[in-house]
Chain A
Amino acid sequence: MNFKDLDWKPLALVPVLALLVLPFIGSASTWLTLTIAGLAMGMIIFVIASGLTLVFGLMDVLNFGHGVFIALGAFVATSVLGSMGDYTSSQSLWQNMLAVLPAMLIAMLVAGGLGLAFERFIVRPVYGNHLKQILITMGGMIIGEELIKVIWGPLQIPLPLPEGMRGSLFLGDAAIEKYRLIAVGFGTLVFSVLLWVLTRTKLGLLIRAGVQDREMVESLGYRIKLLFIGVFVVGSALAGLGGVMWGLYQQNVIPQMGAQVNVLIFIVLIIGGLGSTTGALIGALLVGLMANYTGFLVPKAALFSNIALMMAILLWRPQGVYALGK
């Protein structure tokens, strides 16, 4: 890519926001703690939002039911981790990983499986009709949430972090929770893999081409529907993974969490520009940082700060920071 063509302004938003807030917070160590927390939260939100933004970009389908996969992933994780007491109570990080990784894997499988069914029965009949899509996927969301209540009960369930992931590291005066670093690591891994698949493989080439011009890809003989189903399933699985990470971050899960996170994701997608993966990353990091900074400075305004951020971005770029050209 030619460096001159790079639209760098949105990329600069994240560090600029972080630096702008520094004088308000005062102490550098608190700032560092908050920034790491914000990045961790942002990375988790990105993992969840990435699937949704691809689905929208590729097929012009806006899935209001994405939250179901988040909640489902988190609830599956409570069941899996609950049955692996030996590994979660161990002090060793690696033994903890042996519990968390299968939990993530199973959550992704279950969420992906549900995604397959969701695509077939909820989304497919209403392709090309935004109004019905919004209504139907919202209905699917409600059904999913109620089914989760039927299976796991309507109450909040604790999802404690495995022993080895608790506690904090100290960097000077700044306390940094271990799990936040792990979350940032996982998020970066997902982003790198996603970016690699999208930009360096033939599959990614087809997906990006499909986002640009679906009919052209179809007329070249590729079955874009299969591609789309694949993206939808992977997107749902990523939401499940994000749900596990979110649940561990909050250390508890409730059936309504999907709807709550959905609100955050929508803000992220609007900031990032619907359909753009890098935009989603920037949006997610901004939202994560903003939530943590305002949570520290003016706790009552936390949710409004995100809406204010979104409005500011929309004033600057009405389509979101990286708009798709359609």
Chain B
Amino acid sequence: MLSRILSNDFPRSRVLAVLLVALVLALALTPFVFPGVKALNVAAKVMIFVVLVASFDLLLGYTGIVSFAHTMFFGIGAYGVAIASTRMGPGWTSILVGTVVALALSFVLALLVGLFSLRVRAIFFSMITLAVAAAFQTLASQLSDLTGGEDGLTFKMPEILSPSFEFELMGHAFDGRLVSFYLLFVLSLVLVLAILRIVNSPFGRVLQAIRENEFRAEAIGYRVVVFRTMSSILSALFATLAGAMLAIWLRYNGPDTSLSFEVMLDVLLIVVIGGMGTIYGAAIGSGIFVVAQSYLQDLLRHGSDAASGQPWLAALLSPDRWLLWLGVLFVLSVYYFPTGIVGRLRAAPTAAALRQPPEEKETP
């Protein structure tokens, strides 16, 4: 049973298993255990990012190609729900229509970008996605009639998901945010398990084969272009769904929340820190990163205040410069921590128990 749910891809490390169970429990119980709106928001952001990062890992970790347009698909999903809810009024139909239209748009865009760039070489893909994402961001701010421009869109959700919907359960008063929190929880769990299923399917194995040795995979008879394009489309579709989740939770969407390059950087960093090529890494990474990020700026503010005597140091530690420290962290993790948390956890027990030298990777 458990093996079916997890697609036979167990954590393979006791610490990791404990961490994962703790994460799921913490998320499930947040509304009851951690009081306050901030904790609820952080938990919701973690759930959205788990899906977003897992979908990105499908591309980066499993297929071995870098896309910089992942936030574009994230944004399409969020804008889909936002625009449909603004135009058609709040309701389940608008959420559904918005999501479906967004999925269709993401599908077409991902197919086009994939076909144009991946048939040549994987590097083109990174460069073209960067250009397309930049163009899309400009477009989203320019089409202000549709997208609300830089201000973004604020909209309403169906009655049962909005804060004004109040109800009583076992003597406690709750509102619609709790319903939407658990909707997100279920969605995120289902989507992550679905991604886990995909990467552990025969299709997922082919992707890994391409990542390890493109030439050999092609020689065995797999059309590398087709598989890479399919992987990029799948990853785009899941990112779109994550975007729809974001819109449902925030009841707002603007270019900075879903399209900005900073979101892209967060995603990259989480994948690297969590562990490329492991869906569990996306979950653990998102949990740690989002929580840390919510408090990193506070930490920097303290540091900056403490260093106010030295203007240079204060400028470096200013909370506005937190991206600098994320960048440093990112570079250091790619160097010294390339397998991420999950890779380390999985490697540790076997190496200690068997006293075997690490397996040499066969060179192509």
Q: In the bound complex, how far is the Cα of B138 from the Cα of A311, in angstroms? A: 19
The smallest beta-carbon distance between B146 and chain A, in angstroms, is: 13
Find the A residue at minimum CB distance from B317: A150
Q: Is the CB of B120 within 8 A of A154?
A: no
The smallest beta-carbon distance between B63 and chain A, in angstroms, is: 10
**Pick the contact of A131 from B64, B330, B335 — CB < 8 Å?**
B64
**Pick the contact of B330 from A142, A270, A311 — CB < 8 Å?**
A142
**Does residue B261 face the partner (Cβ distance < 8 Å to A)?**
yes
Q: Known contacts A136-B334, A270-B124; is A263 also within 8 Å of B324 by CB?
A: no
* Interface flags, A53-78, vs B, CB<8A=1, else 0: 00000000010100000000000000
Q: Is the CB of A259 within 8 A of B124?
A: no
Q: Is the CB of B321 within 8 A of A146?
A: yes
**Pick the contact of B326 from A142, A149, A267 — CB < 8 Å?**
A142
Q: Known contacts A263-B134, A314-B120; is A149 also within 8 Å of B331 by CB?
A: no
* Interface flags, B101-129, vs A, CB<8A=1, else 0: 00000000000000011011011101110
The smallest beta-carbon distance between A53 and chain B, in angstroms, is: 12
* Interface flags, B305-325, vs A, CB<8A=1, else 0: 000000000011000110110
- On chain B, the residues within 8 Å of A306 by CB distance are 131
Within 8 A of A (CB), among B249-306: 261, 265, 268, 272
**Does residue B135 face the partner (Cβ distance < 8 Å to A)?**
yes
- On chain B, the residues within 8 Å of A140 by CB distance are 327, 331
**Pick the contact of A266 from B119, B131, B272, B328 — CB < 8 Å?**
B131
Q: Is the CB of B331 within 8 A of A150?
A: no
**Does residue B142 face the partner (Cβ distance < 8 Å to A)?**
yes
- On chain B, the residues within 8 Å of A142 by CB distance are 265, 323-324, 326-327, 330
**Does residue B236 face the partner (Cβ distance < 8 Å to A)?**
no
Find the B residue at minimum CB distance from A136: B334
Find the B residue at minimum CB distance from A122: B331
**Does residue B132 face the partner (Cβ distance < 8 Å to A)?**
yes
**Does residue A143 face the partner (Cβ distance < 8 Å to B)?**
yes
Q: Is the CB of A150 within 8 A of B323?
A: no
- On chain A, the residues within 8 Å of B334 by CB distance are 126, 132, 135-136, 139
Name 13 extra pairs, CB < 8 A, besides A64-B130, A263-B130, A319-B120. Answer: A62-B123, A130-B123, A135-B330, A138-B268, A140-B327, A142-B330, A143-B324, A146-B321, A146-B324, A266-B127, A303-B134, A307-B135, A314-B116
